[in-house]
Structure 1
Amino acid sequence: MKATALIAEDEALLAANLQAELFGVWPDLEIVAVVGDGQSAVKEALRLQPAVLFLDIRMPGMSGLECAETLAEEWPEDAGAFPLIVFVTAYDQYAVQAFERAAFDYLLKPLQLARLEQTCARLKTRLGERSVEVGGELALGGIVEQMRELLAAGGGGAQAGQDSQDSSPLRIIQASAGNTISMVPVDKVIYFEAADKYVRVVTADREHLVRSSLKELLLRLDTQRFWQIHRGSVVHCDAIASAQRDEAGKLTLTLRERSERLVVSRLYADRFRGM
């Protein structure tokens, strides 16, 4: 079958250049979509299910890494193999080493023809190997493992960049509503949930909104007690009553003091294993 690819690049000239270069080194590759932001990349990748994704690291709204993370979580169970991801980056060599450890391929800007040819050769080989695999779950399992490694490598660098004051564990959440600031002990929080430009802070009997990102909060939380279970959810491990897996393999959590159930994504499902 003819290989297909999607390009996500917010600079139109660079996207056009990559498309032209790909046509020269891999004429049989069909570019099914060219988009300029991460949200569009996720939407079109889920709709078209291309074999290869070329993702720019820096894009408005959602980065290439966040796009890959979202796709790993949302890729349908009954779909084909998860796309092979090639990150396109202007990062320095230190960051590139993180991509290599995670077993993803990458292209540095400005693009070098010889490097692109090498990447395409690797992609062709891997696609040929996939053609004899049964189903796509094996490939998806591998990409989930790679995403964990890559996110861990990236997260460590981000945390190292915080000053000493920010590195201490957070004890109190100051949630403002009108003229009132509620002092919410972190120990009382059952879970945090991303909500647009805010984070919902949920306790047993109340909910608060704080103007922050979940990523910023994660840098201040004790990760031994607060577990990320989804790109948009972090739960206090002591608040979890049980974890149930349905026939399709979807994992959900029952909480001790709340009636709602929380969904665990593929990226974090390995936290829940019987002893």
Structure 2
Amino acid sequence: MNPTALIADDEPLLRERLRGMLQRLWPELTIVAEARNGREAVELFDEHAPQVVFLDVHMPGLNGVEAARSIARRAQVVFVTAYEQYAVTAFEQGAIDYVVKPFDEERLADTVQRLRQRLGTDGAAPAADDRLEAAIEKMSAELRRQSPAQRQAGWLQWIKASVGNSVRLIPVEQVAYLRSDEKYTLVVWEGGEALIRRTIRELADELDPECFVQVHRSVIVNLHQVAQVVRGPNETADVHIKGRSELLPVSRSYVHVFRHM
């Protein structure tokens, strides 16, 4: 079977350029999906299970470094970045590989050669490698240090919801969790529950990732409202919310969120 890959970058032209280069350098490679952000990358990875993932470091919502936490032990990861310092970190820590934007075809050819060698004849996923996790942790710390303004401003502060005949402004710090309900999203907060006409994906990109984390493709929780996390079989878990009886599922792709808690 031909090797498969996923490309994640929030810039359509850059995705197109990378795809074109890969088609020339690695004709056997099949691009099975393209993602616009890290959250979409994780969802598409779970759907298509590609062997190689090209992850842009800077993307809205869940960035490429955070997405790599879910993907790294199940595929070959290549970080894509316009910032040399992240490439240096990835290289020093022994991460799989990196490509610096704007793309250089000669440099990408080296990456392709290394990927071919790693995949071998069976296309096996990489063995667990603590060096890659160390690179992810260091890159994540650098991202947090270098974008304080983005974390302090621009995140959603209020959620507007219709409650009966009135419109309620819900402070996000009071929200316990959000759960997808077909075309709507259920908002559960200290004062009650309400349905809003917004998708989980839209909200995920607007909420501060230091406080709100996606634990399932249909659930976002406020970390400050989590009472307990109980691990289950097959790398899954359940979240207990403070003062509430229901359990919220944590899927395999998001269980890493609670690994160090």
> Which TM-score bucket, shorter chain as reference?
0.5 to 0.7
1:206 aligns with 2:164: no
Bigger Rg over Cα: 1
Residues 1:86 and 1:256: Cα distance change in structure 2 (over 3 Å): closer
User: What SS is found at the alignment partner of 1:160?
Assistant: helix
- Equivalent residue, structure 2, for 1:93: 84
**Identical pairs, percent:** 22
Q: TM-score, normalised by structure 2?
A: 0.62
Q: Deviations over 1:226-264 (max 9, x none)?
A: 463637523244551x32222323111223432321233
Q: Where do 1:127-138 residues align within 5 Å? A: 127=119
Structure 2 CA distance, aligned partners of 1:105 and 1:42?
19
- Equivalent residue, structure 2, for 1:78: none
Q: Which amino acid aligns with 2:235?
A: G
Q: Please provide the CA RMSD for this pair.
A: 4.9
Asked whether the 8 Å contact 1:55–1:85 carries over to 2, the reply is yes
Return the match for 2:213 from 219, 228, 231.
Answer: 228
Asked whether the 8 Å contact 2:61–2:204 carries over to 1, the reply is no
Q: TM-score, normalised by structure 1?
A: 0.60
Residue 124 of structure 1 and its aligned partner are, at CA, apart by: 4.5
Structure 1 residues without counterparts, runs of 5 or longer: 24-29, 76-80
Return the match for 2:246 from 241, 246, 260.
Answer: 260
Asked whether the 8 Å contact 1:147–1:267 carries over to 2, the reply is no
Structure 1 CA distance, aligned partners of 2:63 and 2:51?
17
Q: Where do 1:1-275 residues align within 5 Å? A: 4-8=3-7, 10-11=12-13, 12=16, 14-23=18-27, 30-38=28-36, 45-46=45-46, 49-55=49-55, 65=64, 69=67, 72=70, 82-89=74-81, 91-94=82-85, 96-97=87-88, 100=91, 103-124=95-116, 126-127=118-119, 139=128, 147=136, 149-161=138-150, 166=153, 173=158, 175-177=160-162, 180-184=166-170, 188-192=174-178, 201-204=187-190, 206-208=192-194, 209=196, 213-218=203-208, 226=211, 228=213, 230=215, 233-237=220-224, 239-240=226-227, 242-264=228-250, 265-272=254-261
Structure 1 CA distance, aligned partners of 2:225 and 2:6?
43
**Number of residue equivalences:** 242
Structure 2 CA distance, aligned partners of 1:101 and 1:194?
40
Q: Deviations over 1:170-197 (max 9, x none)?
A: 9x74634388443545664323557899
